[in-house]
């Protein structure tokens, strides 16, 4: 089931999201059943992010409001929304992580591997994979940016890994290793990507 949750202002996020149990309150008709999967297309006012959140119905509030439990795959999207609402976070490059799904190819142990990102910022990226490289491994990545003619070619170091047995999204966090010139280029690319994210102009598959 798919519903649209439109917030007139960022402050309304505080009203619909409960950080204590990670639930999102959304108006849904017809009334979904307990355990139903729900896709929530969140649109935050004018000039705010559009985020797709997925979870399961774990309760109801009144007749027309479903309580949706968000899983670990949605964690970075929630973190981004929390920062957007608090203000100022988006200006701190070391902390912002844009929750976008971008195609990425990297050098795996057995050759090139195609996957996608969970999130990205100026300093690094989280790549989804059930077979992450060892920590401290150096890796070359080719990241496809929507609307950009040439993909982003970067080298980084694996700083942490998450395996399927962990209660989180499997993958690896990578910190970019770049010269000052490359760092400026990466920052400009991420700035442009974030502006498109906020404007809601990114392709649908990058919000999955």
The pLDDT tens digits for 95-139 are: 578 999 999 999 988 889 999 999 999 999 999 999 999 999 999
pLDDT band at 62 (very low <50, low <70, confident <90, very high): confident
Task: Report CA-CA distances (Å) from 22 to 45, 75, 85, 123.
Answer: 22, 9, 16, 27
pLDDT > 90 in the chain, percent: 65
Please report the pLDDT score of residue 169 as a whole number. Answer: 85
Please report the pLDDT score of residue 93 as a whole number. Answer: 44
pLDDT band at 86 (very low <50, low <70, confident <90, very high): confident
Task: Report CA-CA distances (Å) from 174 to 58, 134, 141, 160, 171.
Answer: 34, 11, 10, 7, 10
pLDDT tops 70 at residue 66: yes
Cross-strand pairs, 23 = 18, 69
pTM of the predicted model as reported, rounded to 2 decimal places: 0.85
Please report the pLDDT score of residue 107 as a whole number. Answer: 92
pLDDT tops 80 at residue 69: yes
Please report the pLDDT score of residue 11 as a whole number. Answer: 85
What is the rounded distance in angstroms from the CA atom of residue 96 to the CA atom of residue 46?
Answer: 20
Please report the pLDDT score of residue 94 as a whole number. Answer: 45
What is the rounded distance in angstroms from the CA atom of residue 66 to the CA atom of residue 38?
Answer: 10
The overall average pLDDT reported for the chain is 89
Question: How do residues 2-53 score in pLDDT, each as one tens digit?
Answer: 999 999 988 899 999 999 999 999 999 889 999 999 999 999 887 778 999 9
Contact criterion met (CB below 8 Å) for 125 and 117: yes
Domains of the chain from N-terminus onward: 2-91 (2.40.10.220), 103-207 (2.40.10.220)
What is the rounded distance in angstroms from the CA atom of residue 80 to the CA atom of residue 88?
Answer: 12
Task: Report CA-CA distances (Å) from 168 to 15, 29, 66, 75, 165.
Answer: 26, 31, 24, 9, 8
């Amino acid at each position: 089931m798919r519903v649209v949750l439109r917030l007139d202002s960022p402050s309304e996020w505080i009203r619909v999201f409960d950080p204590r149990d990670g639930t999102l309150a959304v108006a849904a008709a017809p009334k979904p059943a307990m355990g139903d999967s729900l896709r929530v297309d969140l649109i935050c006012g004018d000039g705010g992010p559009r985020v797709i959140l997925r979870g399961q119905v774990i309760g109801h509030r009144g007749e027309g409001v479903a309580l949706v439990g968000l899983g670990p795959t949605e964690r970075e999207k929630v973190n981004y929304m929390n920062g957007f609402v608090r203000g100022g976070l988006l200006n701190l490059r070391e902390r912002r992580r844009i929750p976008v799904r971008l195609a990425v190819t990297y050098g795996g142990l057995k050759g090139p591997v195609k996957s996608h990102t969970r999130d990205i910022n100026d300093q690094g990226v989280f790549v989804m994979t059930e077979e992450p490289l060892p920590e401290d491994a150096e890796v070359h990545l080719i990241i496809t940016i929507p609307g950009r003619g040439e993909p982003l070619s970067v080298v980084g170091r694996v700083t942490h890994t998450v395996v399927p047995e962990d209660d989180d999204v499997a993958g690896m966090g990578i910190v970019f290793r770049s010269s000052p010139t490359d760092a400026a280029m990466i920052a400009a690319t991420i700035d442009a990507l974030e502006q498109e994210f906020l404007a809601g102009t990114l392709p649908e598959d990058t919000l999955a």
